[in-house]
Amino acid sequence: MAEGGRLQGRVAVVTGAAQGIGLGIATRLAEEGAIVVLADIADSKAQAAAADLARRGLSATAARVDIANDASVQMLARKVEADHGKCEILVNNAAVGADTHIETMSMEAYQRVIGINQDGAIRMSVAFVPLIKKAGPGRRILNVVSILGLRGWPNQIAYATAKGAIVNFTRALACDLAPHDIMVNAIAPGFVDTPMSLRRDGKHEYDADWFRDIYVKYGRIPMRRYGKPIDMAGPAYFLCSDDAQYVTGQILSVDGGASATF
C-alpha cells in the first residue's frame, strides 16, 4: 500500500479495470493509498494488471465480474464484503462499444449495449450501496459516461442512449444518497486512446484522416490531441477524494475542450 496517500485504507472497486480508462483510474486510486479491487470480465488481464500494481508496492487485487449478470455482481459484492467488510469508492467504468444505426441495428444488438453500459452501472450501484453505507468518511460513486451521452453522434444509437441514461442516473442517485453523505458524480471522456477506440480495420479512430483534419488541424478539440487514460485518472481521483466533499450530481467533461466547440 502506498504510504501517506490521501485515500489511505479506503476500499475502491473499479469495473472494467483490466485496461484503458479503468486501469488508469485504478492505478491513481492505488497510488493515493486506496485498497483497489480491479473488477473485470477479462479475469486474466485483470489479474496481470493487479500483479503489476502489487509489484510497485500498491494494494491491488483482481476479481472477475460480468456486470450484465445479477448473480455475478452479487457474488462480487459478497466477496468485497467478506474480504474488506466495506467499500468507500465504487467506479462504474466497464462498457462496450458498438456501431448502431437506427436503420440497420437489431434489437438484440441494442439490448446488449444497454444491458452492459446502462443496466450494468445501475446493477453495480444497487448491489454496492448497502456496503458503501457501512463504510466511513469519503464514500463516493463515480460513473464513467461519455460526451456522447451529452451530444448526438452518427451510428451510436445504443451507446449514446446508454451513456445518456447514466448521466441522469448519476444526478438522480446523487439526490437519493446525499442524506447519507455519499457523493455521486461522473466524468465524461471524449476521444481517448483505449482498446475501445480501435476500428474494425484495426486502426485507432484518431489515426483516421477525418479525425486529424476536424479535431486536430481545425481545432474541434482545442487541445489538438486525443486523450489518454492518465488524463482521466486525475479528474476521477478528485471526484473520489475529500476535496469533492461538496460536489455531487455533477458531470465533468474530460475531453480536451471538444464539447466546448460542439
Question: What are the pLDDT digits (tens) for 80-134?
Answer: 999 999 999 999 999 998 889 999 999 999 999 999 999 999 999 999 999 999 9
Name residue, grid cell 455531487: 248
Residue 214, domain member (yes or no): no
What percent of the chain is predicted at pLDDT more than 90? 78
Residue 91, domain member (yes or no): yes
Answer with the residue of higher pLDDT: 25 or 1. Answer: 25
Number of domains composing the chain: 1
Q: What is the pLDDT of residues 27-72, one digit of tens each?
A: 999 999 999 999 999 999 999 999 999 999 999 999 999 999 999 9
Name residue, grid cell 494494494: 59
Residue 4, domain member (yes or no): no
Residue 5: beta bridge partners? none
Give me the catalytic one of 159, 215, 226, 237.
159
Residue 262, domain member (yes or no): no
Domain with 37 in it = 11-197+232-257
Closest C-alpha to 139, from 26, 250, 261, 248 = 248
Residue 25, domain member (yes or no): yes
Answer with the residue of higher pLDDT: 244 or 199. Answer: 244
Choose from 1-10, 141-150, 193-202 the range with maximum mean pLDDT: 141-150
What pLDDT was estimated at residue 196? 66
pLDDT band at 1 (very low <50, low <70, confident <90, very high): very low
Does residue 226 have an active-site annotation? no
pLDDT band at 2 (very low <50, low <70, confident <90, very high): low
What pLDDT was estimated at residue 154? 87
pLDDT of residue 138 exceeding 70: yes
Residue 145, domain member (yes or no): yes
pLDDT of residue 166 exceeding 60: yes
Residue 249, domain member (yes or no): yes
What pLDDT was estimated at residue 205? 66
Q: What is the pLDDT of residues 188-237, one digit of tens each?
A: 999 888 776 656 666 666 667 767 777 777 778 888 888 999 999 999 99
Name residue, grid cell 491513481: 28
Residue 212, domain member (yes or no): no
* CATH code for the domain of 73: 3.40.50.720
